[in-house]
Amino acid sequence: MTAQGKYRVLVVDDDASVLVTYRLILEQEGYEVAACGTSREAIAAVEKKNFDAILCDYSLEEQHTGFEVISAARKRNPDVPAALLTGYATNETADEAEAQGIGIMFKPIEIEEFLATTSKMLRRDNEPKQENGKENDSTQPQGGGQGRQQRGNGGVGRRRTAGGPAKS
C-alpha cells in the first residue's frame, strides 16, 4: 500500500506491449503499478519494495520463470498474493502453483477476470490488515473473501485462481 492508500501491484511480462497494457489497465483501476520486463528487473524490484500483489508472466527471458520472481517476493513478504499469467501451463506447473498458493490466469485473459482476480487477491490480503491495522504481515492466506468486488465476477475469479486445479 502506498502513502496515498493505493495498492501496490507488480506486473511482470517479457512482452513489452503486453506489459504496457497491463500497467495501463491496472493504473486505470487506481492501483500503483510497477511493471518489469525481465525476471532480473522484477527480482530487484521485489527485494527493494513491498507489493500487495504480484501478477507475473510464467515464461520469462532465458528460461526464467515467474516462480523465481514470486519466490523472491515471498522471501521478503511470505504472504504476498501472487498469480501466474500464462498462455500454456503443464500439469506440473499448475500443481506447483497450487502447492505454493499461487493462482493461474490463462492468456488470453478476459479483462473482467483479470481485474476481479487482482482485486480479490488484494482484498484477501487486506482483510486481516484492516482488522489489525497493520501492513503486509497478515497470517496465512485464507479462503476467498465473501464481499462483493467492484468489478467482475468474484466467484469465477476465485475458481480460476485458487480453486480448480489447472489442467493443460
Partner 1 sequence: MATAEVRFPEERINGRRASAERRPAILRLLEAERSEEIFPLLLEEILALGYPRALAVDVNFDTGDITPAAALKWPRQQLEKFSTALWVSEHQLVGVLHSTQPAILNKTTIHNRPIYVHPIYYSNRSLCWEADRIRTGSCLAVQNFRKEKRIRLEEQVCPTCDMRAYAAAVIVELPKQSAAQGIVEHAELAELIELANRYLSRLFKVEHYYNRMRDMEITIAQMGTVMQSMADPVILTDTQHRVIMQNKAAERFFKVPDEMTEGLVRAVELNNLLFSAALSSMLVSGTDAHRDLTLVDAIEGEEMLFEAVSAPTYGPDGIQIGTVTVMRDVTDLRRADQELRANYDKLREAEEVVRQDRDRLNLIIENVGDPIVVCDSESKIVLVDPLAQELFGTSAETARDTAQFQNLTRLNTYVGSFTYSFAERETAPLKLISPSLKQEIEYDARSGKIFDERGEVAYTVTVLRDLTALRKVEQLKVERRMLEIEKFAATGRLAATIAHEVNNPMEAIKNAIYLLAGAVPENAVPVYNILKSETERVARIVRQMLGLYRNTEQVKPVNVNTIIEDTLLLLNRQLQRVNVEIKTDLRTLPDAVIAADQMRQVFSNLVINAKDAMSKGGKLIIRSRHIPGRDDLHGWVRILIADTGTGIPPEMSRTIFEPFVTTKGEKGTGLGLWIVRGIIQNHAGKLSVRSKLGQGTVFRIDLPVMKL
Give residues in contact with partner 1 (CB under 8 A).
Answer: 13, 15, 17-18, 20-22, 24-25, 28, 87-88, 106-111, 156, 159, 163-165, 167-168
Residue number, 80 or 106, with CB nearest to partner 1: 106
Residue number, 76 or 107, with CB nearest to partner 1: 107
**Buried/exposed code over 60-92 (b: 16+ C-beta within 10 A; e: otherwise):** beeebbbbebbebbbeebebbbbbbbbeebeee
Q: Would you mind telling me the total number of residues written for the chain in this entry?
A: 168
Smallest distance, partner 1 to C-beta of residue 24, A: 5
Smallest distance, partner 1 to C-beta of residue 166, A: 8
Residue number, 69 or 80, with CB nearest to partner 1: 69
Residue number, 80 or 152, with CB nearest to partner 1: 152
Smallest distance, partner 1 to C-beta of residue 90, A: 11
Smallest distance, partner 1 to C-beta of residue 70, A: 20
Residue 163 cell numbers, joined: 480453486
Q: Which of 121, 125, 114, 126 is nearest to 151 (CA)?
A: 114
Residue 146 cell numbers, joined: 465473501
Give the side-chain half-sphere CA count within 13 A for 70: 25
Smallest distance, partner 1 to C-beta of residue 81, A: 21
Burial class of residue 113, CB neighbours in 10 A (0-12, 13-18, 19+) = middle
Residue number, 1 or 20, with CB nearest to partner 1: 20
CA distance 89 to 120: 22
